[in-house]
Amino acid sequence: MDRFYFDHNATTPVSAEVLAAYTEALRELCGNASSIHAFGQQARQRLEEARGRIARLVGAEAKQVVFTSGGTEANNLAVLGVVRASRRGRRHVITTEIEHPAVLASCAALEREGVDVTYLPVNGAGLVDPDEVRRALRPETVLISVMHANNEIGVIQPIEEIAGIARQADVVFHSDGVQAAGRLALDGVGGCVDLYAISGHKFHAPKGIGALMLRGSVAIEPLMYGGHQERDRRPGTVNVPAAVAMGVAAEAAVRDLESEQARLAGLRDRLESMILDRIPGTGVNGGGAPRLANTTNIYFDGVNAEALLIALDLKGFAVSTGSACSSGAVEPSHVLTALGLSRDRARASLRFSLGRANTVEQVEALVEALVEAVAHLRRLSPVAVHV
Amino acid sequence: MSDELIAVAMSGGVDSSTVAALLHRQGLRVVGLTMQLWNQRRLPEIAGQGTAGRCCSLDDVYDARAVAAHLGIPYYVVNFEERFELQVVKPFIEEYLAGRTPIPCTLCNNFIKFDEFLELAAGVGARRIATGHYARIRKDPETGRYQLLKGIDEWKDQSYFLFGLTQEQLARTLFPLGGYSKAQVRALARQFGLPVAEKGESQEICFVPNGDYAAFIEAYFREQGLDPPRARGEIVTREGTVLGEHEGVHRFTVGQRKGLGVAVGEPLYVIATEPASRRVVVGRANELLRERLEALEVNWVSIAGLEAPRRAEVRIRHKHIAAPATLYPTGEPTRVEVVFDEPQRAVTPGQAAVFYEGEVVLGGGWIA
């Protein structure tokens, strides 16, 4: 059976050029980048080259880039690190209801430590209102964390504007850029945000490597202890081959950005219009705001999305519902309910996230499979679908 | 290879894993599905030591996934938590609070496994499902009716929990283990090299740790922010003599002897609970005997209905040795009067009365 992958917001395959760089680095760079000798220096040099490439991706300076194990660690380090480093007696954090669990669960951990957290709502399109950020500010606010692009619906937040509010209030601003990296031009990011988290495997680097862009003026408490790597902010021997691979992937992302995103936007629009034309009782979640070119989230009224996902996978089409619990079962999405969707509609929604290998033919085959599977599911449990 | 897809309900235990292996070996297309029913991280105060043997622990999902990988079949976890809480856990609690002794496994079979799960399976393309129950299904060639039969392993037989199945459900269900003994199933699991071949048995009520249902109910009330149902009440004899106090009727079930905290010369048993007056009525062993019962919401499985009095053997709890009785129709088709030849001990409201004719399940209902 042919298998087609429409889940690039979960992860992306390693590209050929990244694989070549990765294997070369694994083979050639045997030193520990912290070692004083020539082996170490060689690894260190390649690590710093990679750091420079990551810095260029996000418009920052190389010394502002801290390598981590991935996006989750980068977000944890940002949120927990900034708040725990603050010496104030009362501390307050502003974030949103639609953040990734890496940020939400970090905030929940801070709440257990006595920190106040404000979770801002979003409008029906999934956008945060910057005025709400301004209104939520308190004298004790130490961090604002608003994601750049949402993983489930792709909506892009006005982070430049929110960064301006944070700067004016002298509050540290962090943004989760995991889904934005490789999909949006980020050269302006370094100039406006204080911290920015990215993850390599979302743009064709291997799993297990990510980075936090961190302005030098921001005090941060490390999550782990044990070594002086990454300027005392992230101990542990750096995974140099993965960092090298991520550097190559970052450069490729910058190079290919415009043409690839335009191509994906065309495919995504085609997918959306075909579904909306051919399947009644469907609609785009969060369609009324600027979105990532590769992402769409669609409801199929009267259909259990969990069953639809499995039915599609059994036909060879990999899609997602956005969030899963620890056992791997599907949970009603907190993002979709934050948009104001009913639980029923949230449960009837699927995420399609396109990427490099997807073609027009694949999209057309996906739509055929969807038409058939949705009709089958609706026949089994006929719920009135108003068209 | 048949083109039909069969969905196997996989719990991660030996039985359902062996079902998946058996069907796969027969050349059938199989998809493994694990129902996530209850979040074991809830109610941490009663969690005790680990979650082994309880439903939906991450270890069980891990095991089910490992079996599916071993067989090379597609596998998914499906979320039934909300439905399970609504259709099984809440009624389970309400029954106890109403002075009855519920059977959550039957509720789960009737409303989850053979209803919503069956529908989900159909949705993913599997018209029929298979489970690891020890019971058999046979189509009566004369009437065309599907019949439910005991599993051949008398000790493992689970037909008691399946009396609520409809003809449509039976037509779409496979019980591949009904013809095997548990020992044979374990031998098969070993022969197939299943990673769960040596795994222990699961416990009786999968979401209640250590069988302490009263602690579960009280913890659930605290979690929901409700006042605990520990309304104190009196322990009385049938004549009304007060013998002591108790911490809530939900802690007692008919036939129970332990935990009464009253010391009298001869052993006393709970013979009834009265939620309205919060009284627990106790008496001597012979006061537990009943020669008749009324079965409600009766479902006829292997026969179309009851026209005239009919002899049957009736089980009033799991592991009860079916007792000879006569079934009498009443005016209502779903209500049956059962009169035993010999009085039976501890006829417990809320449990099921299941009617057998030899190995065949005629039907069953809930004890009033």
Residue for token pair 């406006």: A192
Residue for token pair 């002897």: B257
User: Which amino acid is present at A357?
Assistant: A
- The arithmetic mean of pLDDT across residues B262-279, rounded, is 84
- Could you tell me which residue, B229 or B267, shows the higher pLDDT? B267
The percent of residues in chain B predicted with pLDDT above 70, rounded, is 96
pLDDT exceeds 50 at position A385: no
Of B61, B120, B123, the CB nearest to A327: B61
pLDDT exceeds 90 at position B347: yes
pLDDT of amino acid A210: 98
B97-108 burial code (b ≥16 CB/10 A, e <16): bebbbbbbbbbb
Chain B nearest C-alpha distance from A322 (Å): 14
pLDDT exceeds 70 at position B54: no
Chain A positions in Cβ-Cβ contact with residue B33 (cut-off 8 Å): 310
| B124 interfaces chain A, CB cutoff of 8 Å | yes
Asked if B79 lies within 8 A of A376 by C-beta distance, the reply is no
Residue B357: which H helix or E strand, with range? strand B352-357
> Does the annotation count A325 as an active-site position?
yes
CB atoms within 10 A of CB B335: 15
Residue B293 near residue B312 (C-beta atoms within 8 A): no
pLDDT exceeds 90 at position B57: no
Chain B positions in Cβ-Cβ contact with residue A304 (cut-off 8 Å): 120, 123
| B61 interfaces chain A, CB cutoff of 8 Å | yes
Chain A positions in Cβ-Cβ contact with residue B78 (cut-off 8 Å): 306-307, 310, 329-330
Least confident residue range of A68-77, A101-110, A377-386: A377-386
Please give the ipTM for the structure prediction. Answer: 0.88
Chain A nearest C-alpha distance from B331 (Å): 34
Domain ranges of chain B: 5-132+176-211, 232-283, 289-367
- Could you tell me which residue, B39 or B15, shows the higher pLDDT? B15
pLDDT of amino acid B232: 86
How far apart CA A143 and CA A121 sit, in angstroms, is: 17
CB pairs under 8 A between A and B: 56
pLDDT of amino acid A317: 98
pLDDT of amino acid B24: 97
pLDDT of amino acid B1: 46
Q: Is it true that domain A16-252 has CATH number 3.40.640.10? A: yes
pLDDT exceeds 60 at position B329: yes
Q: Is it true that domain B5-132+176-211 has CATH number 3.30.379.10? A: no
CATH class of B289-367: mainly beta
Residue A184's contacts (CB-CB under 8 Å, 6 or more residues apart) are: A148, A149, A156, A257, A261, A292
How far apart CA A382 and CA A198 sit, in angstroms, is: 43
Asked if B5 lies within 8 A of A313 by C-beta distance, the reply is no
Of A307, A325, A327, the CB nearest to B123: A307
pLDDT band at A332 (very low <50, low <70, confident <90, very high): confident
pLDDT exceeds 90 at position A244: yes
How far apart CA A193 and CA A132 sit, in angstroms, is: 18
**Average pLDDT across chain A, whole number:** 95
How far apart CA A298 and CA A307 sit, in angstroms, is: 15
Q: What are phi and psi of A52, to 5 degrees?
A: -65, -40
| B3 interfaces chain A, CB cutoff of 8 Å | no
Question: Which of A310, A320, A325, A377 to mutate against chain B (most B CBs within 10 Å)?
Answer: A310
Of A328, A330, A376, the CB nearest to B61: A328
pLDDT of amino acid B52: 53
pLDDT of amino acid B176: 98
**Average pLDDT across chain B, whole number:** 91
Asked if B78 lies within 8 A of A310 by C-beta distance, the reply is yes
pLDDT band at B258 (very low <50, low <70, confident <90, very high): confident
Name the architecture of domain A4-11+257-380: Alpha-Beta Complex (3.90)
From the list B290, B270, B294, the residue with the least C-alpha distance to B368 is B294
Residue B210 near residue B48 (C-beta atoms within 8 A): yes
DSSP, residue by residue, B274-293: ETTTTEEEEE-GGGGEEEEE
pLDDT band at A1 (very low <50, low <70, confident <90, very high): confident
| B69 interfaces chain A, CB cutoff of 8 Å | no
Asked if A330 lies within 8 A of B78 by C-beta distance, the reply is yes
pLDDT of amino acid A387: 40
Reduced to 3 states (helix: H, G, I; strand: E, B; else coil), residue B186 is helix
The percent of residues in chain B predicted with pLDDT above 90, rounded, is 67
User: Which amino acid is present at B303?
Assistant: I
How far apart CA B170 and CA B150 sit, in angstroms, is: 14
Residue B163 near residue B352 (C-beta atoms within 8 A): yes
The percent of residues in chain A predicted with pLDDT above 90, rounded, is 91
How far apart CA B368 and CA B298 sit, in angstroms, is: 11
Per residue in B138-190, pLDDT (tens digit) is 999 999 999 999 999 999 999 999 999 999 999 999 999 999 999 999 999 99
pLDDT exceeds 60 at position A386: no
Per residue in A82-103, pLDDT (tens digit) is 999 998 889 999 999 999 999 9
pLDDT of amino acid B263: 66
Q: Which residue of B has its CA nearest to A375?
A: B123
A238-269 burial code (b ≥16 CB/10 A, e <16): bbbbbbbbbbbbbbbbbebbeebbebbeebbe
The domain defined by B232-283 folds into: SH3 type barrels. (2.30.30)
> Does the annotation count B206 as an active-site position?
yes
| B262 interfaces chain A, CB cutoff of 8 Å | no
pLDDT exceeds 70 at position B275: yes
Domain with CATH 3.90.1150.10 in chain A: 4-11+257-380
- The arithmetic mean of pLDDT across residues A235-263, rounded, is 97
8-state DSSP, B237: E
Residue B209 near residue B253 (C-beta atoms within 8 A): no
Residue B233: which H helix or E strand, with range? strand B233-237
Q: Is the dihedral of CA B341, B346, B349, B354 positive or negative?
A: negative
pLDDT of amino acid B247: 85
Residue B36 near residue B207 (C-beta atoms within 8 A): no
Of B58, B65, B123, the CB nearest to A380: B123
pLDDT of amino acid B209: 82
- The arithmetic mean of pLDDT across residues B202-209, rounded, is 80
Residue B79's contacts (CB-CB under 8 Å, 6 or more residues apart) are: A306, A325, A329, A330, A331, B36
Q: What is the CA radius of gyration of chain A?
A: 21
8-state DSSP, B251: G
8-state DSSP, B328: E
Domain with CATH 3.40.640.10 in chain A: 16-252
Chain B nearest C-alpha distance from A308 (Å): 7
How far apart CA B333 and CA B210 sit, in angstroms, is: 39
Per residue in A7-62, pLDDT (tens digit) is 999 999 999 999 999 999 999 999 999 999 999 999 999 999 999 999 999 999 99
Chain B nearest C-alpha distance from A344 (Å): 12
Chain B nearest C-alpha distance from A92 (Å): 27
8-state DSSP, B320: P
How far apart CA A339 and CA A124 sit, in angstroms, is: 5
